[in-house]
């Protein structure tokens, strides 16, 4: 019901849905004082001063304040956001969203959601009993020098961005007599990186912006094999902060700016000191070959030949 371009409630949609605008709240920026806590309940009058969506807060927590700066949260699914600046970028395969409102200005973002990433590792552990715990996937993957042509497309609930095929189904391709559980574990981890690249490529095309660095957070980012393979298959640096939970940090940053705990975005950037960088080491030829194999596997998982 909200028009992200006019930054107000959409009167046409309100009329269609039969929602009177009188019952809707006042639209406020992401960083500002909305009210105060009840001293009798919280023991003090504390300003409530920052609000943002889960993924938008994570983007802000990574200090991705400039056009093209991006982050990916690795959880049961993957969620990518790219800052596109002051103008919303239209897309027919990604979500155009408000990133945040700050100091009278609004930044926009492109968002892409991958439904099943870390959940695929959980599936191997809980349903197939192939892993004792999720961390075992890294050790297994490292026992191999490559994927030996094995690809796992974890379309366990369909495929999200950029395919949007709810009828796609999961497949494992390239299985031979020599395939073992290490291959399946490695293929599941590699799939997370491939699906992330699918979204990154769509973002670069739709926005016209490059992505030389991907900032990451979420539990799966502690898997160094996955992070290195992500850098390799993207051909870009992957940056992991010491604190991998970025959402709460972003909300705190927005609140701190509102109450003058910090004075500027530059102050926040100064806090981003401890990071580990994963730089691409794979040749372009190898990268292209592996990704072509992934795209061939996805084509077999899609429900219709009409999909690209």
Per-residue model confidence as pLDDT tens digits over 206-238: 999 999 999 999 999 999 999 999 999 999 999
Q: What is the pLDDT of residue 183?
A: 98
> What are 109-128's pLDDT values in tens digits?
999 999 999 999 999 999 99
Structure tokens at 86: 């002051």
Grouping H, G, I as helix, E, B as strand and the rest as coil, residue 277 is: strand
Q: What is the pLDDT of residue 273?
A: 79
Q: How far apart are the C-alpha atoms of 212 and 70, rounded to whole Å?
A: 9
> What are 59-98's pLDDT values in tens digits?
999 999 999 999 999 999 999 999 999 999 999 999 999 9
Structure tokens at 85: 């600046």
Q: What is the rounded average pLDDT for all residues in the chain?
A: 95
Q: 139 CB contacts (<8 Å, ≥6 apart)?
A: none
Q: What is the pLDDT of residue 272?
A: 84
Reply yes or no on whether the pLDDT at 307 is more than 70.
Answer: no
Closest residue by Cα to residue 168 from 301, 79, 77, 277: 301
Q: What is the pLDDT of residue 274?
A: 84
> What are 266-289's pLDDT values in tens digits?
999 999 878 999 999 999 999 999
Calculate mean pLDDT across residues 249-277. Answer: 94
Q: How far apart are the C-alpha atoms of 282 and 233, rounded to whole Å?
A: 8
Structure tokens at 6: 């006019």
Q: How far apart are the C-alpha atoms of 147 and 187, rounded to whole Å?
A: 7
How would you class 283 by CB atoms within 10 Å of its CB: exposed for 0-12, middle for 13-18, buried for 19 or more?
exposed
Helix (H) or strand (E) holding 291: helix 284-301
Calculate mean pLDDT across residues 241-263. Answer: 94
Q: pTM for this one? A: 0.94
Reply yes or no on whether the pLDDT at 167 is more than 80.
Answer: yes
Reply yes or no on whether the pLDDT at 306 is more than 80.
Answer: no
Radius of gyration over every alpha carbon of the chain, rounded to an integer in angstroms? 21
Q: How far apart are the C-alpha atoms of 277 and 221, rounded to whole Å?
A: 12
Could you say which architecture CATH assigns to the domain 54-308? 2-Layer Sandwich (3.30)
Q: Parse the chain into domains and list their residue ranges.
A: 54-308
Q: What is the pLDDT of residue 305?
A: 52
Q: How far apart are the C-alpha atoms of 155 and 302, rounded to whole Å?
A: 9
95/304: higher pLDDT: 95
Calculate mean pLDDT across residues 48-56. Answer: 94
Closest residue by Cα to residue 233 from 274, 175, 189: 189
Residues in the chain: 308
Grouping H, G, I as helix, E, B as strand and the rest as coil, residue 206 is: helix
């Amino acid at each position: 019901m909200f028009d992200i371009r006019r930054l107000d409630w959409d009167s046409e949609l309100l009329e269609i849905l039969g929602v009177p605008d009188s019952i809707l709240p006042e639209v406020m920026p992401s960083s500002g004082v909305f009210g105060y806590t009840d001293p009798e309940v919280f023991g003090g009058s504390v300003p409530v001063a920052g609000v943002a969506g889960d993924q938008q807060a994570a983007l802000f927590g990574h200090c991705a304040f400039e056009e093209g700066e991006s982050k990916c949260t690795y959880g049961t699914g993957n969620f990518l956001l790219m800052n596109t600046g002051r103008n919303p970028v239209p897309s027919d395969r990604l979500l155009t969203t408000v990133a945040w409102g700050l100091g009278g200005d609004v930044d926009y973002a492109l968002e892409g959601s991958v439904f099943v990433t870390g959940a695929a590792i959980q599936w191997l552990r809980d349903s197939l009993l192939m892993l004792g715990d999720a961390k075992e996937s890294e050790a297994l993957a490292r026992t191999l020098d490559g994927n030996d042509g094995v690809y796992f497309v974890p379309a366990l609930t369909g495929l999200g961005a950029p395919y949007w095929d709810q009828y796609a189904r999961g497949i494992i391709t390239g299985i031979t007599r020599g395939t073992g559980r290490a291959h399946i574990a490695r293929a599941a981890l590699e799939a997370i990186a491939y699906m992330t690249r699918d979204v990154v490529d769509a973002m670069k095309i739709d926005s016209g912006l490059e992505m030389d660095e991907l900032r990451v957070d979420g539990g799966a980012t502690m898997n160094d094999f996955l992070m290195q393979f992500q850098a390799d298959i993207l051909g870009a640096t992957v940056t992991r902060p010491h604190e991998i939970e970025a959402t709460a940090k972003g909300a705190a940053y927005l609140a701190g700016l509102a109450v003058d705990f910090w004075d500027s975005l530059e102050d926040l950037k100064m806090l981003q000191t401890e990071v580990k960088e994963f730089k691409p080491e794979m040749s372009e030829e190898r990268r292209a070959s592996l990704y072509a194999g992934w795209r061939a596997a996805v084509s077999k998982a899609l429900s219709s030949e009409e999909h690209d």
